[in-house]
Amino acid sequence: MIYRILAVGDVVGEPGLAHLERHLRPLRRLKDIHFTVVNGENAAGVGVTPDQVERMYQAGADVVTLGNHTFGKMQIRQRLEEDPYLLRPANYTGRAPGRGWGVYECGRVRVGVMNLIGRCGLDFHAENPFTTADKLLAERSDVAFTLVDFHAEATSEKLALGYYLDGRVSALWGTHTHVPTADEEVLPRGTGYLTDLGMTGPAVSVLGIQPQQSIETFLGGLPGRYQSAGGPCKLQGAVFSLDSETRLCTAVERVEIR
């Protein structure tokens, strides 16, 4: 049987969250989706609140993943400990609250979701994502599909991890840059791959914030408090078609809802 997995790019600000609430369930029906993973680490601009996580579940997310802004809103700490459907990068230090790996029911199969963060130009305090993935895969083999959200800056690091895990995970996608890449593919050993999903947020923006605010920063001015851009929004992500017999990917399709 083919299972269709939807991965949604970083939700940015209140406009992005509202757009997700309007369009995620219709998209799930349109694409006959069995399971959905949403990266929500920018829903509050920098970080996410417990109420926003709940809204993402109500919108249709099965699992919410995070990244370098996991602790941007410290009130999320307790929810990270209590909520098995909310993941932060697994290669954060063991002293960090929460978990980076979860196993979930999806019809007649079980799905494992792994959240990792890159170290190249992003978070050198994290443990090695390659060896962390090895450890988690060695510990858990009771799943039909393994999905990986790799929250990383460098395309080289994302591609390298994709090839490193090729054939050992069902799908791996990148998040963090908020700009979708056009390299969706099934890697040689059967892992579905996309370097970056893009974002869910204001379409006329610089990574979700008001263009003038970003321009001012690059001109040397003070950036000020994060300000979401207004206007129309977009939802970006990808659908991975996974075969329950091989546990690997048969097709990858980018999606965008404006």
| Tokens linked to 79 | 């929810």
Residue with tokens 């979401």: 228
User: What is the C-alpha to C-alpha distance for residues 257 and 115, in angstroms, rounded to an integer?
Assistant: 24
Please check whether residue 173 is in contact with residue 193, taking contact to mean a CB–CB distance below 8 angstroms: yes
Q: Hey, which bits of the chain come out as E strands?
A: 2-8, 10-11, 35-39, 63-65, 86-87, 101-106, 109-117, 145-151, 171-175, 185-186, 192-194, 199-202, 233-243, 248-257
Give the residue numbers marked as catalytic: 69
69 DSSP assignment: T
User: What is the C-alpha to C-alpha distance for residues 67 and 13, in angstroms, rounded to an integer?
Assistant: 15
User: What is the C-alpha to C-alpha distance for residues 191 and 187, in angstroms, rounded to an integer?
Assistant: 5
| Tokens linked to 105 | 């029911």
